[in-house]
Amino acid sequence: MAELVFHTGPMDCGKSTLALQLDHIQSTHGRRGRVFTSQDRAGEGKITSRLGLSTDAIEVTDDFDLWRYVIGELTTGQRVDYIVCDEAQFYTSEHIDQLARIVDELQLDVYAFGILSDFRTHLFPGSQRLVELADRVESLPLGPLCWCGARGTHNARTLDGIMVTEGSRVVVGDTVTGGEVRYEVLCRAHHRRRMTATRAKATLSPDPLPFDPENF
Ligand SMILES: Nc1ncnc2c1ncn2[C@@H]1O[C@H](COP(=O)(O)OP(=O)(O)O)[C@@H](O)[C@H]1O
Ligand SMILES: Cc1cn([C@H]2C[C@H](O)[C@@H](COP(=O)(O)O)O2)c(=O)[nH]c1=O
């Protein structure tokens, strides 16, 4: 039986790496896949992993129809055995319905990868639909740690190290320094308290006030 599988986890937990590995494993065993993405950090039509791997991919825009694309390939004699979808949080609910139809009516395996929730902790529509429709939802085994050492579970958006809670849902960006907007993965408790690494350093620092014990 073909399956719709949703591999999820916070930013920087290895989703794109796994997507690329999965495509590599399947394709080296003679299966032919199609690899899709949406708004990767590296630009249109790319899947990139922070471990340095990358591949070309078909860009999914809002008006792209995955069902029609796959039917078009099959009816022109192309072989399609499986489908990999990265950054699936950016897909629309309709895209996810199309993926489910591909699994059920064409018996193709679909492997989707994406974060569940945005910087305000709300589910992305594409991820919500995947949770509703997937045969399996798999959490990646390794993930980033919050600055406190706990498992990082929630994606914070930061400006100059300070967590922001206003703004567009979609702002493509990274967890490393560079862009104006950054992301930082925190545990839930620190996400709730908006306690980023920068703020923790500034407010919880044990730096002693300079004093001379002799004259105290
Ligand atoms: N220098 C490094 N050495 C080893 N692992 C690294 C290094 N830099 C990043 N990683 C790992 O790469 C993974 C991030 O990969 P990526 O596929 O880009 O994540 P995601 O798609 O979930 O955002 C994480 O597991 C991270 O720990
Ligand atoms: C939380 C959050 C993230 N994004 C963007 C930032 C990145 O471009 C991707 C996630 O990519 P990754 O491969 O999982 O690191 O999503 C966003 O647009 N809005 C958000 O709230």
Of the three residues 143, 169, 191, the one that is the final residue of a domain is 143
Determine how many CB atoms are found less than 10 A away from the CB of residue 186. 29
Of the three residues 117, 143, 169, the one that is the final residue of a domain is 143
Residues 184 and 162 in one domain: yes
Placement of tokens 């308290």 in the chain:
193
Measured in Å, residue 172 CA sits from the centre of ligand 2 at: 6
* CATH at residue 126: 3.40.50.300
Question: 137 forms bridges with which residues in the sheet?
Answer: 6
Residues 136 and 148 in one domain: no
Residues 77 and 18 in one domain: yes
Residues 108 and 161 in one domain: no
Closest approach atom of ligand 2 to CA 157: 1
Residues 33 and 89 in one domain: yes
Q: What is the DSSP letter of 20?
A: H
* Residues 160-185: tens digit of each pLDDT: 999 999 999 999 999 986 668 999 99
CA distance 14 to 141: 9
ipTM of this model?
0.97
Q: Give yes or no for a contact between 183 and 156, defined as CB atoms under 8 angstroms apart.
A: yes
* Banded pLDDT at 30 (limits 50, 70, 90): confident
* CATH at residue 151: 3.30.60
Residues 78 and 181 in one domain: no
Of the three residues 143, 162, 181, the one that is the final residue of a domain is 143
Q: Please name which ligand lies nearest the alpha carbon of 169.
A: 2
CA 133 to chain centre: 18
H-only helix segments in 118-169: 125-133
- Domain assignment of residue 210, yes or no: no
**% of the chain with per-residue pLDDT over 90:** 90
- Domain assignment of residue 7, yes or no: yes
What's the confidence (pLDDT) of residue 209?
A: 60
Residues 149 and 58 in one domain: no
Residues 153 and 133 in one domain: no
Q: Give yes or no for a contact between 189 and 166, defined as CB atoms under 8 angstroms apart.
A: no
Q: How many domains does the chain have?
A: 2
Which residue pairs from 164-167 have beta carbons closer than 8 angstroms and sit at least 24 positions apart in sequence?
A: 164/119, 165/119, 165/120, 165/194, 167/119
* Residues 109-145: tens digit of each pLDDT: 999 999 999 999 999 999 999 999 999 999 999 999 9
Q: Are strands 54-56 and 136-139 parallel, antiparallel or unpaired?
A: unpaired
Residues 17 and 74 in one domain: yes
What's the confidence (pLDDT) of residue 211?
A: 60
The domain of 180 spans 144-205
Which residue from 11, 41, 85, 196 has its CB within 8 A of the most atoms of ligand 2, so it is best to mutate?
A: 11
- Domain assignment of residue 22, yes or no: yes
Residues 161 and 185 in one domain: yes
- Domain assignment of residue 174, yes or no: yes
- Domain assignment of residue 211, yes or no: no
What is the chain's length?
216
* Residues 91-100: tens digit of each pLDDT: 999 999 999 9
- Domain assignment of residue 115, yes or no: yes
Q: At 33, is the secondary structure helix, strand, or coil?
A: strand
Residues 115 and 139 in one domain: yes
Measured in Å, residue 146 CA sits from the centre of ligand 2 at: 17
pTM over 0.90: yes
Residue 202 zone, left/alpha/beta (φ > 0; ψ -120 to 50; rest):
alpha
In short, whether 182's Cβ falls inside 6 Å of ligand 2 is: no
- Domain assignment of residue 65, yes or no: yes
- Domain assignment of residue 216, yes or no: no
Q: Give yes or no for a contact between 87 and 38, defined as CB atoms under 8 angstroms apart.
A: yes
Residues 137 and 158 in one domain: no
Measured in Å, residue 154 CA sits from the centre of ligand 2 at: 11
